[in-house]
Amino acid sequence: MWLWHERDYWSFDDGDRIYWRNDAAFVTQPPIGEAGWTSFLNFINAEQFTRDITMVTGIAAQRVEQLRSQFADPAATAQQLASRTTRHGESPWWHAYHTGSAAALAGDPDTARQAFHRITVGNLDPDWAHDLAQHARQLADLADNPPALQQRVIDVIHATRQRLKLPPAHPVPCQVRRSDRSENISGGAS
């Protein structure tokens, strides 16, 4: 769950649904036409269910480690999000927002600005999309002041953590990358 959009509910912003087989192999997208993949556990009896749930919790732990490796820090997260296309079923607006926020946090204001500028809505789009576009415009406007942009994203992360009753994150130094200068700012990880 990305914490750089203020909210008081949990969501799954990246990571995908997991499918597994009885041999504990797992994927995010089962091969077309290949039998044996599932994302559901049946209860037949306590022994079978205990065995299956033990396997699935092991798979979940492995997936968490994969995601921690994939999204190791703000720069890796920004690179990962910027390098992939919007997935099936994913809002292109949210993908752009997450990419821009990760880039801002990583100290890459140019990528952040480009991503935020991709969030354009029309009159027939839902209210939440207009709110997101307005917030993205505000963040894009801060791209000429990278420390302020980075701090705004950090402030939203802290506010979201409070709303979700999570402990405060400890600040970590982030490098602001500009073609003409670099500055250190105290940042926070989600």
Verify that 145 and 119 share a domain, yes or no. Answer: yes
The reported pLDDT for the residue numbered 78 is: 95
Verify that 60 and 82 share a domain, yes or no. Answer: no
Q: Which residue, 158, 117, 119, 172, is CA-closest to 141?
A: 117
CB 132 within 8 A of CB 93: yes
Backbone φ, ψ for residue 97 (5° rounding): -65, -45
Verify that 36 and 125 share a domain, yes or no. Answer: no
Distance CA 178, CA 172 (A): 19
Verify that 172 and 144 share a domain, yes or no. Answer: yes
Verify that 163 and 116 share a domain, yes or no. Answer: yes
**Inside any domain, residue 101:** yes
**Contacts with 80 (C-beta within 8 Å, 6 or more apart), sequence order:** 70, 71
Verify that 82 and 152 share a domain, yes or no. Answer: yes
* pLDDT digit string (tens) for the chain, length 190 residues: 899 999 999 988 887 889 999 999 999 989 999 999 999 999 999 999 999 999 999 999 999 999 999 999 999 999 999 999 998 888 999 999 999 999 999 999 999 999 999 998 888 899 999 999 999 999 999 999 999 999 999 999 999 999 999 998 875 656 666 554 444 444 444 4
**Inside any domain, residue 136:** yes
Verify that 106 and 173 share a domain, yes or no. Answer: yes
**Inside any domain, residue 14:** no
The reported pLDDT for the residue numbered 172 is: 61
Tokens of 103: 């880039």
Verify that 60 and 87 share a domain, yes or no. Answer: no
Verify that 97 and 180 share a domain, yes or no. Answer: yes
Distance CA 144, CA 176 (A): 12
- Give the residues across from 26 on adjacent strands: 20
Q: How many domains are contained in the chain?
A: 2
**Inside any domain, residue 6:** no
Verify that 64 and 142 share a domain, yes or no. Answer: no
Q: Which domain holds residue 60?
A: 19-69
Distance CA 118, CA 97 (A): 9
